[in-house]
Structure 1
């Protein structure tokens, strides 16, 4: 899966409601949007149209409708390949809401409180691939750690890095807003529980 596609999938997961996490880490459920077609969805996820049909028991006419949820399997070796050696995103980080993919309101990362300085640190070596803003997450930074691994840091008051900049593990990259920080790890566009790596 190419990096721009991974980033697009990741941001859709994190910053909107187009995806719903399935009950198994082996697959996701994609919510069909206006303009989608099976061929387009298959290309986005690196699978075949025939696979999509088989997984979802679709008829031969290829018809899908807006709001329909399609099951898409993610290869286990892609999701669970060895991760970088991550560190916590702050010197002091008290988790106030854990990763939860099963609740009524799904939560795909950690929400925590930092120390008084509010400094946010890079969880591993990587490259800043996006700096943006969303009403639900505030200002955020997206870092690519290679091989499909991405981290996101949001609720930021001040960003200390630039898009395209290569950063090192433990480098100060931002200051959190009111000591609040949302931290997320993903592999090939699939959010994973940070507790597994920290």
Structure 2
């Protein structure tokens, strides 16, 4: 089962650009999503769902000042006790750390927009020269891919995986066990870190992942 999840995580990463457009065309089956209709607004959707525009936008890694697009798929986050309980069970035991040692702006955010899906975030490259593990974990895959250069996949507790791309030099080996904030490698000059997070089979907004834990 573990090997299968690793393969899914790798497949999710490798097929990111090609498959996202295919997946985006599929109708959502998750009751915790909402498909934007013509004339919808953050305020109107939030009112239907019993939440606030600010909270709804935050769940989707956005702000209520950003525009909505027809047929866009939004996460609603769910509002049942069961969903909150499940989130508590699967959340990391410790709060994840930023994959970069210093603050960097996000150049391209996580997105489920049908016209421009993006399964991770890409940070700008202003100050950071090296990358670190967001949580304790094990190095399960190291490889190279055009567009993402050298990348590393770490496996964490409770079914979490994290991906680090655009590395010039890798300083860890497959099978190595790491502590939080341990150095993984250095970034390519003038390229920002690509950071993706999966929980089992699903890609998760990295910004939300970094807010989890206790």
Instruction: Indicate whether the TM-score tops 0.5.
Output: yes
1:89 and 2:79 matched: no
Query: With structure 2 as the length reference, what TM-score do the two structures score?
Result: 0.62
What is the distance in 2 between the residues matched to 1:193 and 1:160? Answer: 26
1:128 and 2:139 matched: yes
What is the distance in 1 between the residues matched to 2:29 and 2:125? Answer: 29
User: Is the Cα contact below 8 Å between 2:122 and 2:193 reproduced in 1?
Assistant: yes
- Which 4+ runs in 1 deviate beyond 6 A? none
- The within-5 A match list for 1:132-171 is 132-171=143-182
Distance 1:78 1:116, change over 3 A: closer
Find 2:129's aligned residue among 118, 127, 130.
118
Give unpaired runs (5+ residues) of structure 1. Answer: 28-75
Find 1:107's aligned residue among 110, 114, 118.
118
What is the distance in 2 between the residues matched to 1:176 and 1:156? Answer: 4
Q: CA deviation at 1:80?
A: 7.7
What is the distance in 2 between the residues matched to 1:186 and 1:146? Answer: 12
User: Is the Cα contact below 8 Å between 2:143 and 2:151 reproduced in 1?
Assistant: yes
Q: CA deviation at 1:23?
A: 6.4
What is the distance in 2 between the residues matched to 1:78 and 1:133? Answer: 33
**Which deviates more, 17-26 or 181-190?**
17-26
Give unpaired runs (5+ residues) of structure 2. Answer: 32-82
User: Is the Cα contact below 8 Å between 1:157 and 1:176 reproduced in 2?
Assistant: yes
Distance 1:183 1:80, change over 3 A: farther
Q: Which has the higher helix share?
A: 2
Distance 1:79 1:177, change over 3 A: farther
User: Is the Cα contact below 8 Å between 2:163 and 2:195 reproduced in 1?
Assistant: yes
What is the distance in 2 between the residues matched to 1:170 and 1:181? Answer: 15
1:184 and 2:196 matched: yes
What is the distance in 1 between the residues matched to 2:29 and 2:196? Answer: 16
